[in-house]
Structure 1
Amino acid sequence: MHAFPALARKRWRPHVGSLQDGGMKELAVLARLDGVAQAELCARGDVHASELLEACLARIDALNPLLRAVVTTARESSGPAGAGPLSGVPFLVKDSTEWPGLRWSMGSRLFAANVGRRQTPYGKRLEEAGLVCVGKSAMSEMGLLFSTETLLEGATLHPWDLSCSATGSSGGSAVAVAAGLVPLAHANDGGGSLRVPASACGVFGFKPSRGRTVPASFARSDFAAMTSDHCISRSVRDSALFLSLTEDASFGTPVGFVREPVSRRLRIGTWTRTMMGVAPEPDVLRAYEDAVALLVELGHDVVPIAPPRLEGPALSSAFFRVAGAAVAGIVELMDRTREEPVQIEELEPFTWALVEDFQAAGPEALPQARATFSQAVQAYLEATRGYDVVLTPVTSSASWPVGHLSPVLSREVLLRRTARSIGDTPLHNIVGCPAMSVPLHFPEAGVPIGMHFAAAPGADALLLELAYQLEEARPWKDHWAPYSIPARFGGSR
C-alpha cells in the first residue's frame, strides 16, 4: 500500500559536504522518502538522526536560496530526538508558531527581532514524537493573505513555476515539502491557509476538525479559534500519524492512527461555484470532472447538490473583520508593552487596512460577524445533511502570478481578487469541519490542481480513509516539481 523507494540495508553516509561523488543524488534518495520511511531507517540503525539533519540542511542550502521557503534554520540539534514514532525526522514549523530559541516573526517587520521562548502544548507533542525542528517556514504577514510574499522576507517562489504565487499563507511549508527539502512541515489553516498552498504545490494538505488537536498557540481570539494546526505532507500516512500524535483527549472519541482506506460506498455531495458565486476556470473544471469520474469508478455515489444559501459578500466581510480584530488586539498589546506605539512602517498596508476597518466598524463588529457565521453554519449543515463527504474545487483558478495578492495593494483590490480566486475553504473553518486538499491532477503544463473534500465536524477518520483510497488509485509520490531536489539532482520529474 505504501511503497517507497527501498534503501540498501547499510549505514547511510550522505556526502553532504560537497556536490561531488554523487552526494546530491544520495540526498535526492532521502528526499523521496516520507517521514514514516525516514523514521524506519533511524529505527533500524541504517541512518542516524544527526545524518538526517545534516542531509536536510544540505537540501535546504541547495534550493532554498532560490525558493525562499525557509526563513530561519536551526543548524544545531537541540538534543537527542524523542523516542516517538517519528524519531529523527526533520521538519519545519510555520513561523506563525512559537518555538523556543528560533526567530518568531509571523512574517512581520514588527516582530523581525522576536525570538520564541516558550514551547506550546502542540510543540511538546511534536518533540515527544521525535521530530527534529530544522527551522521556520515562510508565511504571509500574520497569516492574513492567500500569498507568501512579505515586506520582511520577500516572495516565496513556486517550485512548479517560479512566476506563479506559492499561495498561502502556509506557502513556505507547502513549497518546502513539494521541493523535497523536508518530508513534512507544520502548517495552520484559518481560512484555507494550509489547503490552498497544498493544492497549488501538489502535496497533501489536511485540516482537522476545530478543537481536535492540542493548542499550538497561546493567543485567544475569534480568528485563533477558527484556526486548525496540522502538517503538509507527501503521504497520507504521515498526515494521519501526525494527527494521532497531536490529538486533544478532551475533544471526544480519539481518531488514533488511521491506517486503511475506506471500505464502504460513500454518498458525496458536490458543487463547483464558490461561496462568492464564482465558477471554476476551465482547467480547474477539468480537474474537478476527472475527480468526479475517479470517485464514481471507485464505487462512490456522487450527487450534484445546491450549494449552501450564503450571503457571500457579508460572509467575506465578517471573516476579514474577525481577522482585523485579532490584529488590532496584537497592536493594542504592543502599544501597552513598549515605549512607543506601533509605527506605520512596522506593518504592511493590508494589515493596517484590516485594523482600521475593524475599528471603524464599531463595537458591534464582532457580534455581527459571529451572527453572520452562525447563519452560514446552519446553511452549510442544511445543504450537506445526508452526505458523508462534500467535494468542491479548492480554488476557482489553478494559479495566479507573484504579486497578484501583494500586501502593498489596496484592501479593495486584494479583497476583490481573493473573492475571485478562493473557493469555499474559509467556510469550512467557520463550520469547524475537517477538510483536505488531495493532489489528484498534474497537468502536462502548469501547476498541480488539488481537489477539496470535507466531512461533518468530528469525522476526521472518514476523510483520511478516503484520502488513502485516492492515494492508492492515483499515487502522487513520484510527481516532483521541476525545482525540487529529486528533479534537479535525482533525475526525476
Structure 2
Amino acid sequence: MVNTNELASLARLDGMAQAELCARGEVSADELFDACLARIDALNPLLRPVVTVARERPRPAGSGPFSGVPFLVKDSTPWPGLRWSMGSRLFAAHVTQQQTPYGRRLEQSGLVCAGKSAMSEFGLLASTETLLEGVTHNPWNLACSATGSSGGSAVAVAAGLVPLAHANDGGGSLRIPASACGLFGFKPSRGRTVPASFASSDFGDMTSDHCISRSVRDSALFLSITEDRSSDAPVGFVRDPIARKLRIAAWTRTVMGEEPEPKVRRAYDEAVALLIELGHEVEPITPPLFDGPALGDAFFLVSGAAVSDVIEKIDQTRDEPVQQGELEPFTWALVETYLARGSDALPWARAAFARAVRAYDEATRGYDVVLTPTIATEPWRIGHLSPIFGREELLRRTGRALGYTPIQNIAGCPGMSVPLHFPEDGPPIGTHFAAAPGADALLLGLAYQLEQARPWKERWAPYSIPALF
C-alpha cells in the first residue's frame, strides 16, 4: 500500500530523477510502478486522462537511462497487450500485440508502460472529448478543455500521475495541450525519430512522435533515445543551455490574419522581454502571407484522406462496411468532403502546402528561431470543440485558436511550447518557438536557458497529486 506522502514525493520528480532513485536502490521499479498506479487510481476518475491501465506487473525494465520509470503511451500508437482504439468507437475493442520500432526503443530505455492516454478521435480535433471515452478535464480548471489531441498525455503529466508521457503532433497536437497544461512540449523535425507507426499517409508524414514532460532534460533524453541515428547529424542528448546570442523573428498574427486574445498577447510580450533580457535579438517581422482558408482546407483534406484509407482497410476485412454511426460526426464529414473532392484532392492539398512552406521559408530566412504564441486564445471550455458540431463550425473555431503551430508540421520544422506564463485566473499560456528543419539541438538549448530563467518545475495544477496530497 502506497501512503500519501510517497504519492506526492515521487510525483514531484521528473523521469530522470525517478530513474536515479531506482539506480541507487532507494526505490525499486515495482515500487515506482505501484505508486504510479495508485496516483492514477486517485485522480483518473476525476480527470480521465488514462483510457487503459496496465494492471499487470510489467516485464523487468530495460537497463537504459529511464530504467524503471512509468510512463503512458498515447492511444494513437500500438502497445503489445493493450487496447488500441485511437479514440474511436470503430476500434473500441481492438487489442494489438504489435510493437513499433519506436516502442522498442522506449522499452530498451527502461521506460515502463502504465497504460494508454486519451486523445480525440484519430487525433483530428484539438480537444480530448470523444463519444467513446468521454471528457478529459484540464487539472488547472475542470471546466476547461485539456485541448488536444494529446490531451490525456498532458493532463497525466500536469496532474503528477506520470513524469512524462508519449504524445504526437500532426498540427500542434502535442504542443497545444502542453501549453494549456503548463508543460514543456517539443515536436522534433520531420524524420528525426524512428517510425512510431506501421501506416503511411500525407497526414502521417506531417506527424512527429515525442513526449510531453515537466522538465526539458526528460524531453531531451527521450529524443536521444528515439532518434534515427542513421540520419544526418544526430542530435544526441542535449544537456546544456544555449551559449550564444540568437536572432529571433517574432510575430503574433495567425494564419487566418487575426491577432491573439489580450491574455495571450501579454504572455507573448513577457516572453519577448525575457529573451531580450537574456541577450537575444528579437525582431518583429511581417508574418508570412498565407492563404489561411486554403491551408485549413488542405490540412483537413489530408486528414480525411488518412481516415478514408483506414475505412477502406476495415471494409476489406468484414462483411458489412463501416457505418456512419461508428465514427464521430466530424470525422465522417471529413471523409465525405475528401471523397467528394475526387482525385485532385491530395494534389491540390500538396500544392497548397508547398506554397505555404515557400512563404514561411522566405519570411524566416536568416533567423535562428521564430517566436509566436502557441495558441491564439485562452484554453477553451469543454464542449467548444465537441466532435458533434458541424464541420464548418468546427473548422471556424479551430482556425481561430490554432493559427500558429500547423506550419511547422507542414514544413518539417522542430517546434516547442514553453510554459512561461501562469495567470492567476486561468490555465497556463505557453509560448511557441520554432527553428529550421534539423535544428532540434538549438531549440532544446534555448529551452534549457528559459527553464533556468523562469523555472516552472514547482508550478502544480490545483487538481494534481502534489497539490492535493
Q: With structure 1 as the length reference, what TM-score do the two structures score?
A: 0.95
* Of 260, 266, 270, the match for 1:286: 266
Task: Decide whether the 8 Å contact of 2:6 with 2:35 is kept in 1.
Answer: no
Please report how far the alpha carbon of residue 250 of structure 1 lies from its aligned counterpart in structure 2 after TM superposition: 2.6
Match for residue 83 of structure 1? 63
1:313 aligns with 2:327: no
1:432-459 superposed Cα distances (whole Å, 9 cap, x missing partner)? 0000000000011100000000000000
1:332 aligns with 2:312: yes
Distance 2:340 2:404 in 1: 27
Correspondences of 1:313-462 after superposition (within 5 Å)? 313-462=293-442
Distance 1:480 1:78 in 2: 29
Please report how far the alpha carbon of residue 343 of structure 1 lies from its aligned counterpart in structure 2 after TM superposition: 1.3
1:27 aligns with 2:30: no
Match for residue 124 of structure 2? 144
1:290-337 superposed Cα distances (whole Å, 9 cap, x missing partner)? 000000000000000111111110011000000000000001111111
Task: Decide whether the 8 Å contact of 1:85 with 1:130 is kept in 2.
Answer: yes
Please report how far the alpha carbon of residue 399 of structure 1 lies from its aligned counterpart in structure 2 after TM superposition: 1.3
Match for residue 36 of structure 1? 16
* Of 200, 203, 213, the match for 2:193: 213
- The DSSP-based 3-state class of the residue aligned with 1:337 is coil
Match for residue 447 of structure 2? 467
What is the identity, as a one-letter code, of the residue corresponding to 1:288? Y
Please report how far the alpha carbon of residue 249 of structure 1 lies from its aligned counterpart in structure 2 after TM superposition: 1.9
* Of 107, 110, 114, the match for 1:134: 114
Match for residue 204 of structure 2? 224
* Of 94, 104, 114, the match for 2:84: 104
1:131-163 superposed Cα distances (whole Å, 9 cap, x missing partner)? 000000000000000000000000100100000
What is the identity, as a one-letter code, of the residue corresponding to 2:133? E
Match for residue 261 of structure 1? 241
* Of 89, 92, 96, the match for 1:116: 96
Distance 1:214 1:177 in 2: 24
Distance 1:355 1:251 in 2: 35
- The DSSP-based 3-state class of the residue aligned with 1:433 is coil
- The DSSP-based 3-state class of the residue aligned with 1:329 is helix
1:196 aligns with 2:196: no
What is the identity, as a one-letter code, of the residue corresponding to 1:138? A
Match for residue 281 of structure 2? 301
Q: Which runs of 4+ in 1 moved over 6 A?
A: none
Q: With structure 2 as the length reference, what TM-score do the two structures score?
A: 0.99
Number of equivalent positions:
469
Distance 1:30 1:319 in 2: 41
Please report how far the alpha carbon of residue 207 of structure 1 lies from its aligned counterpart in structure 2 after TM superposition: 0.1
1:174 aligns with 2:154: yes
Distance 1:123 1:473 in 2: 34
Task: Decide whether the 8 Å contact of 1:77 with 1:132 is kept in 2.
Answer: no
Distance 1:201 1:459 in 2: 26
Residue segments in structure 2 that go unaligned for 5+ positions in a row: none
Distance 1:391 1:113 in 2: 42
Distance 1:311 1:162 in 2: 36
1:57 aligns with 2:9: no
Please report how far the alpha carbon of residue 78 of structure 1 lies from its aligned counterpart in structure 2 after TM superposition: 2.9
Distance 2:455 2:133 in 1: 34
Please report how far the alpha carbon of residue 77 of structure 1 lies from its aligned counterpart in structure 2 after TM superposition: 2.5
Distance 2:350 2:324 in 1: 29
What is the identity, as a one-letter code, of the residue corresponding to 2:22? C
1:357-385 superposed Cα distances (whole Å, 9 cap, x missing partner)? 00001100000100111111111010000
Match for residue 25 of structure 2? 45
Please report how far the alpha carbon of residue 41 of structure 1 lies from its aligned counterpart in structure 2 after TM superposition: 0.3
What is the identity, as a one-letter code, of the residue corresponding to 1:82? G
Match for residue 4 of structure 1? none
RMSD of aligned alpha carbons: 0.6
1:393-447 superposed Cα distances (whole Å, 9 cap, x missing partner)? 0111011110000000000110000011112111110000000000000011100
Task: Decide whether the 8 Å contact of 1:174 with 1:198 is kept in 2.
Answer: yes
Task: Decide whether the 8 Å contact of 1:126 with 1:246 is kept in 2.
Answer: yes
Distance 1:423 1:90 in 2: 34
Task: Decide whether the 8 Å contact of 1:393 with 1:423 is kept in 2.
Answer: no
